[in-house]
Amino acid sequence: MLGINPERMMTFPEELQNILGFKLCKGAGHIFASDPRHELINRYGEGSVDDEYLEQRNKLHSKRIKKEIDYSPE
């Protein structure tokens, strides 16, 4: 998950955010001064789904998968 911009993570469903650590579990320690979700909302707001990196990555990936690779041994 470190490769994803934290602002983009703010657009994830709340259930997924909880799994990723946006929610405290029984008072476990964390790196934030208060609740992780509140800290991220204060810093990044609601986030944006626009991500130039993902657009570029998807374009390059579509070029790679156009060429079919035969993995069968000869």
pLDDT digits (tens, 9 = 90+) for 38-64: 778 888 887 777 777 777 877 887 777
pLDDT at 67 over 60: yes
Which residue in 36, 10, 5, 2 sits closest to 21, CA to CA? 36
Buried b (16+ CB within 10 A) or exposed e, 44-74: beebeeeeeeeeeeeeeeeeeeeeeeeeeee
Residue of 35 and 33 predicted with greater confidence: 35
| Average pLDDT of every residue of the chain | 73
pLDDT value of position 8 = 80
pLDDT value of position 72 = 66
Q: Could you give the count of Cα atoms lying within 13 Å of 10 in the half-sphere of its Cβ?
A: 19
